[in-house]
Structure formats: C-alpha cells, structure tokens
Amino acid sequence: MFKLLKEKFNKLKEKIAGEEKKALRKKKVEKKVGIKEKVKKKILYKKLSEDEISKVLEEFEIDLIEADCSPTVTSKIVEEIKKRLIGKEARRGDEENLIKNTIKEVLEEILDLPRIKIDELIKKKSEGPFLIIFFGFNGSGKTTSMAKLAKYLLDRNITVVFAAGDTFRAASIEQLEEHSRKLGIKVIKHKYGADPAAVIFDAVKYAKSKGIKVVLADTAGRTHMDKNLIEELRKIVRVNNPDLKVLVLDSLTGIDVLSQFEMFNEAVGVDAIVFTKLDVNEKGGNILSIAYEFKKPILFFGTGQDYDDIKWFEKDWLIKQIVSE
C-alpha cells in the first residue's frame, strides 16, 4: 500500500515539476517578446515634449490672433491643446498630424454650440405669430440679414411680415421697403420718430389678424454711447415679448464683438447670433472668441449681398476657415 502511495506521489511531483518548467518557459518567451515590443515601440514612437509642441503651436497662436481671436481666448485655447499633448505618445514622423488633430478636437468642442432649428420653432408655436427681433450696432447688417431670413422662410411656404422698428435712422424704413418690394412682403411702419415698440406691436397684431406666421422686426443700430437707444430696446422687448432675440455682429469688427455681445446680452439677453460679411472676412477668429466665451447658438452667416447668400452654422465648415489644411 505504501509503495502504491509513493508511486502516486512521485507521479504528482513529476507532473507539478513539468507544469512549473512549462510555465517558466512561457514566462521567458513572454519576457523576450515584451522586451522586443518595448524596443520596437521606442524606435517607432516618442513622447511629445513641451518644447516641440510649443514650436508648432506658436504659428497657430499667431494665426488665431491675426484672425481676430482675442488674445485671452487664444491663450486659453493654446494652453488646452498643450495640456492634451504633453507626454502623449506619437508615431515618429506623425507628430504634426497628432498636433493638428488635437487642435481640431479642441475647436470642435468650443464650437459644439446649442442649435436652433428655426423652421421647427416657428411651427411649434400654435397661437399668434412668431416674433423675431434683430438688433446690433450701426452698419452690422441687420436689415439685410432680416431680408435673407425672410427669403429662406418664404421658400419654405412660411408667411412673413416686416416691422419697421428702426424709426431713428434716416432712410431705414425706405431700405426695408425696398427689400419688401423685391420679396413681396408687407411692411408695417409708422413715421420717423415714432415709438418702435408700438410699431412692432402693431405688426404682431396685423400678422395675427391675417394668419401670418412670422414677424421680423428691425430696430435702430446702437453704439456703446447710445444709452437712450438701449433703454428703447429694453422697452421693445418688454412690450412685445419676442420669441427670439437675434444679435447681428459684423465679422469685420474684430475683437470688439465681445464687448458688443456683453452690452446687448446685459441689456435684453441674446438668444442667437448672426455674423455678417463672411464673404469679405473668412478668418473667423472673433466668431471663435464669441463661441468660447458665451456658448450661444449661431443662427447663420451672411456670405454676400444676395438673398440666398446665407450659410447656416456648421462647425466643420467654420473650422476649415480657421485651420488651413
């Protein structure tokens, strides 16, 4: 009996020893493969240093500032890109692509703005017309932007009436009437010097009586010094309770668009933004600044003088304007 037990014990011992040898051989092979892979990785890949990242980003930083992106926003964007890249492994020879892709990734996040689907918003309102008020600085392109949106809506069988709420600037009503004649849209107007809140109120009343779906209201251009006109704009909003308040910004203005936005947002609140003159200025840096600082929806871009020269906001399109391929 002891002999039998001894034989079983010896067999078990041999089996364990065999498994240990097998495991040891496997470990040695894995170690060799691991060393080989590490060597290969060191040859093919490298960790990006802050110095080489900074060298590449210096040019990008200059490009952003030259494109009218504010220095503060530019600095924040560059620091975020650096933070994501320092110590990151890149395949040798592919470092530039990794940096470029990271730049695009950061810009995509900045331009991931709330979206406004204007057609759907208008259709959702069951009672009364949908009132959109346009405001902005002198010469920003409010009236032309209104006309472009009107053409877009008419092409989709959405009825429109204009409200001539700029009763301050000479020839503003005539300018709106010229657009109305070309587009076949009625203008509700009073005399120059009249209360613009009352003009817009009457336009809404008219639209309601005729079953017209949308009222597009023009307002007088403001500047930083026009405290009375700012108060007037507050009254317009208070009396008429618009469904959408649209700030029109001239893309050629540079970084001053930031202070313009702050002024109007503080006065009446901004629901959406239109940028004009993108046909003249394709740099887009100040648009990036606005998006970074305020995260408000961009409704569309004006890209020319014709009614169809309108580009609805697409972040991929804008990134191509900012980052040259």
Instruction: Determine how many CB atoms are found less than 10 A away from the CB of residue 201.
Output: 19
**What letter represents residue 12's amino acid?**
L
Q: Looking at residue 20, what is its pLDDT?
A: 58
Give the model's pLDDT for residue 324: 61
Instruction: Please give the pLDDT value at position 3.
Output: 47
68: left (phi over 0), alpha (psi -120 to 50) or beta: left
Task: Give the pLDDT of residue 10.
Answer: 53
What global pTM score does this model have? Answer: 0.83
Q: In degrees, to the nearest 5, what angle opens at C-alpha 297 toward C-alphas 295 and 303?
A: 120
Maximum Cα interatomic distance, the chain, rounded to a whole number of Å: 123
296: number of Cβ within 10 Å:
19
Can you give the residue ranges of every domain in the chain? 47-110, 118-313
Per-position b or e across 156-191, b if 16+ CB within 10 A of its CB: eebebbbbbbbbbeeebbebbbebbeebebbbbbbe
Q: Cβ(272)–Cβ(297) under 8 Å?
A: yes
Strand 272-276 versus strand 160-165 pairing type: unpaired
Can you give the pLDDT of all 325 residues of the chain as single tens digits? 444 444 544 554 455 555 656 665 655 555 544 444 444 334 445 677 778 788 878 888 988 888 889 999 999 999 999 988 887 776 766 777 888 889 899 999 999 999 999 999 999 998 889 999 999 998 899 999 999 999 999 999 999 999 999 998 888 999 999 999 999 999 999 999 999 999 999 999 999 999 999 999 999 987 666 788 889 999 999 999 999 999 999 999 888 999 999 999 999 999 999 999 988 876 778 999 999 999 999 999 999 999 999 999 998 888 887 776 5
User: In this predicted structure, what is the pLDDT of residue 233?
Assistant: 94
CATH T-level assignment (fold) for domain 118-313 = Rossmann fold (3.40.50)
DSSP state of 222: B
pLDDT of amino acid 92: 63
